[in-house]
Structure 1
Amino acid sequence: MSYHVGNSNRHTLGICLVGDFRTQQPTAAQLDAANRLIQHLQVQIPTMKQVLGHQEYPGYAWKNCPAFPMGKFRSDYSQYLQKPVDKADKPQQVPVAISLNGSLLAVTGFLQDGVSMLPVRAVANTAGGKVEWIEQTKDVLVNGKDLNEKVIEGSAYAPARELAAALCLQVEWDGSTNTVMLKG
C-alpha cells in the first residue's frame, strides 16, 4: 500500500511522471512510457480497469494533478492500444509477464507466433547469468550458449525455453495470466 490519494490508497496504484505540467507538457517519451507501463500493469493486474488522474478521486478535485487533461490521455491511451504495428519494424506483440522463483520481474516479454520471447539481458542478469554480445556475428551468448535471439529496438529477445536452458532454469507457462514462470 502506498500513500498518494487519501482514502483511496487501498485500491489504487500511483504512477508519477516527473515534471511540472502546469508550465510544460509531458514529453512524447514520458507519455509512451506511461502507456507501456499501464499496458504492462493491466496484464499483471487484470482487475485494473480505470486510469484516473489524482484530481479525479473523491476529495481531490482541488488538486491540479497531473495538470494535463486526463480525458485526452485516456483517449490517446486507447488509440495507443489499437495502433497498428509496422510488421517490418517489429512483430505483433502480446505482453508476457515474467516471474523468477515466484517474484515478478519489472520487465516483460511478448508472445510471437505462440512463442514467449524474453528480454535476454534483464532476465539473465536477474538470474545471475553471464551475457555476451559478439559484435562480428551479432550474436548473444548466455553462459556461453548461443541463442536464437531477435534484436528489436536495440534489445535482444530469446525464446523462453532456450533462455531458461542456458540459465539452467525450469520454465512453465500460465496462460490464464500470460506469465512465463522461471524456477531454478
Structure 2
Amino acid sequence: MAYHFVIQKDGVIYWCYDSETISYHVDNSNRHVLGICLVGDFRTQQPTAAQIEATQRLLQYLQVEIPTMKQVLGHQEYSGYAWKNCPAFPMGTFRTNYSQFLQKTVGKVDKPKQIPVAIRLNGELLAVTGFLQEGVSMLPERPVSNAAGGKVEWIEQTKDVRVNGKNLNEKIIAGSAYAPARELAAGLCLQVEWDGSTNTVILRG
C-alpha cells in the first residue's frame, strides 16, 4: 500500500500509515507528502459525495494536527507527474470547495474546559495528552490506538470514528476525536486505571 489514507466510495477512511511514515507514491516528494487515495476511476466517473466530504474532513483534521501542512495538490501537480491523468478531476475546483467547507465549519468545534490528563501505555508515558471533563477522562483516539496497535476508521455516513470496528462516544475537538478512557480501553482490549494524584490514565495490555 503506497498511501497513508484510502477513502472508499461510502466515505470510510482507512488509516494505513502514521503521518511520520514515509510511503512511496510521488517519487522525490515522498519525504514531505502524505498520500490520500480516493477509490475509483475518475476518468469515467466522479467521486461520491461521501468521498468528497470525507476527504474534506480528513484534510481539516490533518491541518490541525500538522500546522505546517499548507498545500493540497493532485498527483499530476507534482514535479515529473504532469503526464499522469491523476486524480482526473479538477483540483482547482476541489480546493475552492474545500476552502468554502472550512469557512462553514470554522468555530463549530466543541471547546470544553479541560484539565490535562497524562497517558501511560504499558508503563510508557505517551507524548500526547487527554483531558478531564465532568469527571470523565477523554483520550485522543488516533494516537492512543496507534500506540496500542489498534485500527482506526472514520465512518462518513454516521460521522463516527471506529476503533477496532467498535463505535465510541467520541467528541470532535479542533479536528481530533476524543473518547472516554474506559470505552477506548475496552475497544483496544486494555485494562485502565486512574491515578488521581498525578492526573494520569494508566493503560495496560
Question: Residue type matched to 2:187 in 1?
Answer: A
CA distance in 2, matches of 1:136, 1:112: 28
Q: Residue in 2 aligned with 1:101?
A: 122
Q: Residue in 1 aligned with 2:168?
A: 147
Query: Identity rate of aligned residues, in percent?
Result: 82
Q: State TM-score, norm by structure 1.
A: 0.52
Question: Residue type matched to 2:191 in 1?
Answer: Q
CA distance in 2, matches of 1:97, 1:141: 23
CA distance in 2, matches of 1:138, 1:89: 15
Indicate the SS of the match to 1:107. Answer: coil
Shift in CA distance, 145/89, structure 1 to aligned 2, threshold 3 Å: closer
The higher-RCO structure (CA 8 Å, 6+ apart) is 2
Which of these residues, 126, 129, 141, is aligned with residue 120 of structure 1?
Answer: 141
Contact 2:153–2:161 (CA under 8 A) maintained in structure 1: yes
Q: State TM-score, norm by structure 2.
A: 0.47
Q: Residue in 1 aligned with 2:33?
A: none
1:155 deviates by 0.1
Question: Residue type matched to 1:159 in 2?
Answer: P
Q: Residue in 2 aligned with 1:69?
A: none
CA distance in 2, matches of 1:104, 1:160: 15
CA distance in 1, matches of 2:157, 2:166: 16
CA distance in 1, matches of 2:147, 2:123: 13
CA distance in 2, matches of 1:121, 1:93: 19
Runs of 5+ consecutive residues of structure 2 not aligned to the other structure = 1-106
Runs of 5+ consecutive residues of structure 1 not aligned to the other structure = 1-85
Q: Residue in 1 aligned with 2:26?
A: none
What do the CA deviations read for 1:59-111 (whole angstroms, capped 9, x no partner)? xxxxxxxxxxxxxxxxxxxxxxxxxxx9x841110000000000000000000
Count of residue pairs the alignment pairs up: 98
Q: Mark the structure with the bigger radius of gyration.
A: 1
Q: Residue in 2 aligned with 1:32?
A: none
CA distance in 2, matches of 1:156, 1:140: 7
The aligned runs of 1:18-167 (5 Å cut-off) are 89-167=110-188
1:115 deviates by 0.2
Indicate the SS of the match to 2:145. Answer: helix
Moved over 6 A (4+): none
1:180 deviates by 0.0
1:135 deviates by 1.1
Aligned-residue RMSD, C-alpha: 1.4
